[in-house]
Structure 1
Amino acid sequence: MRLRIFTEPQQGASYDDILAVAQATETLGFDAFFRSDHYLAMGDTAPVLPGPTDAWTTLAGLARETRRIRLGTLVSSVTYRPPGILAIQVAQVDQMSGGRVELGLGTGWFEQEHLAYGIPFPARRFGMLEEQLEIVTGLWETPVGDRYSFSGEHYTLVDSPALPKPVQARIPVIVGGGGARRTPALAARFATEFNLPFPEFTDVPAKFAGVRAACAVIGRDPRELVYSAALIAVAGADEAAFARRAAAVGREPAELRAHGVAGTASEVVDRLGALADDGVECVYLQIMDLSDLDHLDFIAREVMPQLA
């Protein structure tokens, strides 16, 4: 099982804070560093300093200041960037990283941040997601020298040179969510990875089965996809250390154990093992306290060796 670090910088983090976590992620042997793509803190009406950082601007910086780890978003919103611009941004960061970028893309959901920064927030966005996935992958896959055009309900591209090209032959695309029909169908068509964000543990097998069924409908081998989950992670050497970290992120220990990857090292290993039994191949560990680099060190020392 691959372990990735997933952060929420909109809750209060500078680029330097993010860089420190990303470099620790790399040094400690985790597979990847991912960040959310949000512009407003959640759960608190007071402004949070230092303010938001843009996801793809951040990842461009990290592309030049890391060497091994994968880098990506979980997930970018279709409301933030036109698909042609997004394709250029992601391809450029892929070049800057030497081919280490992944794109998670979703409909977006947080209306307040759109209002705060003047970003349009249409009521119906699923069609935008479908068209953006088709356009972004279509632009990247268009042979050099050819042109790309698209005409849809939401977007029109005419005679695009479809440049620049990413380093990777195919940038991994992550599609996720809990929908029973439309999301699995999109994942089957466009994704290299299907992600369950903060699922109930008992729901995981059925959700993955739905994606496999959607693959079968279009004749795609479901084994081509990676099956992943994102879950909050809070761990400690003993109950006291765990409780301190839970309090630092404003969560109750019992609730974390019920819904996250949480507890002592043995409890975390058991939870990850159960997820693996349910078909989870990769876990995004949501780390909320970006100042606690010892937390990452603890997981790397006490948990990762037991997963080998």
Structure 2
Amino acid sequence: MKLGIHYWTYSTPKDPTQIAPTLAETARIAEQAGFSVFTVMDHYFQMEGTASADDPMLEGYTTLGYVAAKTERMTLGLLVTGVMYRYPGLLAKIVTTLDVLSGGRARLGIGASWYEREQVGLGVPVVPVSERFERLEETLRICLQMWSDDNGPFHGKHYELAETLCVPQPLTRPRPPIMVGGGGEKKTLLMVARYADACNIFGTSVGDVKRKFDILRDHCEAEGRDYDRIEKTVAIVRPPLADVDGFLTDAAGFAKLGVTELQFMPDRHPVEFTEQLAERILPRLADIG
């Protein structure tokens, strides 16, 4: 089972001059300990309900470029890119740039953007949910075309591209993996079945994740897609260090469902969190698989 750090907050420590060194040290420790993936959020304001909206937040792909320069092996991506925040052709080019400069370590994580306060605040168009999913599907199609031999035009309902030239192509072959994040049963999981190499589900409970996977399996059958070829990833919601034994029980349950990647979100200083995971949890996870 692959393990990842999801670096979702830049508020610890509070001194802004310490954001970069703390991020770099966390990534260094994670890679040294054997973590396979490092992700950050795609937000411009911190999420309300989780913390204060005016807490520090950095732009995601710039942050990943910095992390790429500090690491050598971990896969890098956003968990997940908000579809409304970048024109699709530019997004494909941004992910390609990350992939080339990181030596082939980029992953496109993407989903339907939702945080209206930051969108209204920063002038990002707010559109109905149905349109966001239409744009998500077109964005996925555009990225796939940009990462293929087809440099021709793209004609969609929301996006028109005269040409889909992308030079250089990503180093990852045949292209960077695509992860569609979210557990929406009618649309999000359908996008997974139709286009993605991986899904990402919130790990609220083993039972909830199993139900989402059952729905994904149904979508795969309807789309003629091999369910087993889609990588199953879970974002751990419950703080794992608060109850290590309880977390390991859940992890074993996730593994039985076919989950191959767990994402951990720091609930304390990220360096301390990563060190504690490496010391208290990683050795015991090895027994699960």
> What is the TM-score of this pair, normalised by structure 1?
0.83
Question: Any residues of structure 2 matched to 1:42-191 within 5 Å, and which?
Answer: 42-43=47-48, 44-45=51-52, 47-48=54-55, 51-123=56-128, 124-141=131-148, 143=149, 146-169=150-173, 170-191=175-196
Residue matched to 1:284: 263
- Equivalent pair of 2:22/2:270 in contact (CA under 8 Å): no
- Equivalent pair of 2:79/2:181 in contact (CA under 8 Å): no
Residue matched to 1:194: 199
Cα distance change, pair 2–233 in 1 and its aligned pair in 2 (3 A): farther
Q: Distance in 2 between matches of 1:16 and 1:200?
A: 34
Residue matched to 1:253: none
* Aligned-residue identity in percent: 32
Give per-residue Cα distances to partners, 1:128-170, cap 9 Å, x unaligned. Answer: 10100110111012x2xx5221111110111332333110012
Residue matched to 1:3: 3
Cα distance change, pair 182–163 in 1 and its aligned pair in 2 (3 A): same
| 4+ runs deviating over 4 angstroms | 10-13
Amino acid at match of 2:8: E
Residue matched to 2:284: 306
Give the CA deviation at 1:209. 1.6
What is the DSSP-based 3-state SS (H/G/I as helix, E as strand, rest coil) of the residue aligned with 2:76?
A: strand
Give the root-mean-square deviation of aligned CA atoms: 1.9
Are residue 28 (structure 1) and residue 6 (structure 2) matched?
A: no
117-126 vs 226-235, which moves further:
226-235
Q: Distance in 2 between matches of 1:148 and 1:102?
A: 24
Give the CA deviation at 1:57. 0.6
Give the CA deviation at 1:292. 4.1
- Equivalent pair of 2:119/2:125 in contact (CA under 8 Å): yes
Residue matched to 1:247: none
What is the DSSP-based 3-state SS (H/G/I as helix, E as strand, rest coil) of the residue aligned with 2:246?
A: helix
From 211, 214, 227, the counterpart of 1:206: 211
What is the DSSP-based 3-state SS (H/G/I as helix, E as strand, rest coil) of the residue aligned with 2:239?
A: strand
Cα distance change, pair 295–45 in 1 and its aligned pair in 2 (3 A): closer
Give per-residue Cα distances to partners, 1:206-240, cap 9 Å, x unaligned. Answer: 2112212222222221111101111235344xxxx
Cα distance change, pair 61–227 in 1 and its aligned pair in 2 (3 A): same
Cα distance change, pair 132–46 in 1 and its aligned pair in 2 (3 A): closer
Q: Distance in 2 between matches of 1:267 and 1:151?
A: 50
Q: Distance in 1 between matches of 2:169 and 2:190?
A: 27
Give the CA deviation at 1:117. 1.5
Cα distance change, pair 175–46 in 1 and its aligned pair in 2 (3 A): closer
What is the DSSP-based 3-state SS (H/G/I as helix, E as strand, rest coil) of the residue aligned with 2:5?
A: strand
- Equivalent pair of 2:47/2:53 in contact (CA under 8 Å): no
Q: Distance in 2 between matches of 1:174 and 1:10?
A: 24
> What is the TM-score of this pair, normalised by structure 2?
0.89
User: Structure 1: where are the runs of 5+ without partners?
Assistant: 237-241, 243-262
Q: Distance in 1 between matches of 2:42 and 2:70?
A: 20
